[in-house]
Chains A and B, each alone.
Chain A
């Protein structure tokens, strides 16, 4: 009775139901607008590469609509994949990348663990130093490295220049500092109590690293692996400067040096080579992205 009376007498206030969802709808529209814009912007070059790779040399130079393939052909792919050189570049690049990723991960995980957890004299300074190393560009490093290699040859008689495997020594100068930096950050986010619990449980430092830290930091480790793979797969300057024989070239340099002869650009094959070269990182990203994003640390401590 009284309740009904109150409701009846209550002033009527215009309700604004749905204003939140309307705001949200507008926000979504704008986000989609810009996302589509950026997607078009960034996907245009690869799309153009794909189109060009499906054209004959004649069609590429013909004055037709460049955004359409009138006479699709797989000739470029067949030519490149049956060419021995290209397969050697591919193998060289693959070997270098696999080795560089392995070397980088071993060094950076061990370095990051000790810098993040074993508080020793100068560890903080060293950690900053690692990051500063990353800031030195490769364009600045390759001349001193050249000098060092010459000096090394004079000393030992071992020639490091013009070998694809030299890149396994060179690339970590770029990948290790950044991978270490990522891993320091990741290890630092693991609660201190976790290694203390392991310490009390009887684990040595090395066991704490292998049995606790590496499994827990797997997303970070995969991020660092993706990074170092990308660095070594796409690196252009070092192989350009340090290798010359066609059997020692890596993919990015190989495509450019063998498919551009003087002022003749074999655009069809260049585009095909670039597209094939971009495939491995793409596949790796596609498969590991979920892992990379997944938060494995959930539930370690309170939550």
Chain B
């Protein structure tokens, strides 16, 4: 049993707040990813859980015990660092057994655990090597092995894949997920890469400016973001934000983007959006995959519009098209065979059943 609880956790560096009151409940065996832009306080939060940073205010509990003043070694945690932090003068075996040796674990027990962990990570034949004789991916495995052998209550990962090249990163991402499925240890993982966050996490915690923006499953965050920040941060290419107005005309609710462009609000959303009519500074949030080409066999409807395409980016399975609406660049995802070409007009369809209406003054999704 190792749930981790953060209650109103604060951190200030010389009066500069880095973390401004974080509340988070992490369940036993859960894989939590903290994600956000640099300087959002995610690493600081992780380091406070590890005990490497003192907390300025609030409480942190691991397995039900408050650990605010407990030194890192007594918190029963293991951490994997971005630059691996392997001990350069020790071979892989010694690196992995260092913590156990300090705890005066019997030799045969150490040996059993190191070999078991090495087996999980497939590094058994590397046990005699020094870190400098290992590749980046192998070093990362050893760093994970060092964490696994200690059989801690909580694993902490601090951007563990940032130093690897793109291909290896994807490979190690799967590896980390596999390891977690095998050992089922509560895990807190910090990254700035939203793809990593989405693919690894049971639940993702999006942080911004020292605060939690939203906590939820990857699908929750993607489909029902609660703030403009989360909506824009999760997903690639990012969600389009187009300034708009909500107007009531002849009993129907319409989203007016500009003089030429307006769409009827889908009927299932009218009740939700009616109170917003006439509000200033509204933003229409629409993901690129919800701006698609019209298909010949589908009935034309009021969500179709013509647009001059400015840039075309073929991705293989889809083609990204860019055009300008209200002075901002908008991205759509169309079929590669739809005949998109730069400078040509194209008939597109906005799938408003997946839209988000955002109040730009509060940054909240309505």
Where the two chains meet, the residues of A that have a C-beta atom closer than 8 Å to any C-beta of B are 191, 193-194, 196-203, 207, 211-212, 215-216, 218, 296-303
Contacts and interface: CB of A to CB of B under 8 A. Distances in A.
19 contacts: A193-B82, A193-B84, A194-B85, A196-B52, A197-B79, A197-B85, A197-B146, A198-B87, A199-B52, A200-B77, A200-B78, A201-B150, A202-B73, A211-B98, A299-B88, A299-B133, A300-B131, A301-B86, A302-B83
Contacts of A296: 88-89
A196 B81 contact: yes
Measured as residues with beta carbon below 8 angstroms from the partner, the interface class of chain B is 20 to 34
Contact of B99 (A202, A215, A216, A297): A202
Nearest to A207: B102
Contacts of A203: 73, 98, 102
Contacts of A199: 52, 71-73
Contacts, number: 85
Given A194-B85, A202-B73, A216-B88, A299 B131 contact: yes
Contacts of B102: 201-203, 207
B128 to A, nearest CB: 14
B354 interface: no
B29 interface: no
Interface string B84-127: 11111100000000110011000000000000000000000000
Nearest to B74: A202
Contacts of A194: 85, 87
B192 interface: no
List 3 tightest A-B contacts by C-beta distance, closest first.
Answer: A299-B132, A301-B83, A201-B99
A199 B136 CA distance: 23
Nearest to A201: B99
Nearest to B129: A299
A197 B73 contact: no
Interface of B: 50-52, 71-73, 77-79, 81-89, 98-99, 102-103, 130-134, 136, 139, 146, 150, 163
A220 to B, nearest CB: 13
A215 B89 contact: yes
Contacts of B136: 302
B99 A301 contact: no
A212 to B, nearest CB: 6
B120 to A, nearest CB: 19
Nearest to B78: A200
Contacts of B99: 200-202
Contacts of B146: 197, 201
B169 to A, nearest CB: 13
B87 A200 contact: no
Given A207-B102, A303-B132, A200 B50 contact: yes
Contacts of B132: 298-299, 303
Nearest to B147: A200
A6 B326 CA distance: 50
B105 to A, nearest CB: 11
Contacts of A212: 87
A299 B83 CA distance: 10
A196 B131 contact: no
B154 to A, nearest CB: 11
A75 B144 CA distance: 68
Contact of A196 (B79, B130, B139): B79
A215 B87 CA distance: 10
A303 B131 CA distance: 10
B73 A201 contact: yes
Contacts of B50: 196, 200
Nearest to A300: B88
Contacts of B84: 193, 301-302
Contact of B134 (A215, A297, A299): A299
A196 B146 CA distance: 14
A280 to B, nearest CB: 29
